[in-house]
Structure 1
């Protein structure tokens, strides 16, 4: 591995798509919350694709970690939206 290469940092669209994929494969809301937590994503990222300015992204990353109960609630919303969507 070449140490001069920087690690890949996913953009907002990639994070959104990753959260949606996890929602597809999760068994239930608790499973989704665990999967999102494992990879450092939030349920909010799966709900909408936010187009942020670079300054806004830096402010967003400085926020404290979300409440686990809120993450589970948002995970349920993501799953419900996904289950209701036509396939």
Structure 2
């Protein structure tokens, strides 16, 4: 590990040969400001990372992506939820 950076109470990053960004996304019930701040923080991290670095974003993103496996098979398996949320 070359560098560990706490970004706020929901984000941290570890930089070594692979940059790992861990995050816990607010649920749909959270207010819009909190959800917006969460995504703005992720964009800030992305902008600060050199383009040649490998990035891995992990965490609880509180997303329900639906069940349309054929729409994006590289992202999800065949056993998604029947509905989507806004996260």
* TM-score with structure 1 setting the length: 0.26
Is the helix fraction higher in 1 or 2?
Answer: 1
TM-score (norm 2): 0.26
Higher strand share goes to which structure? 2
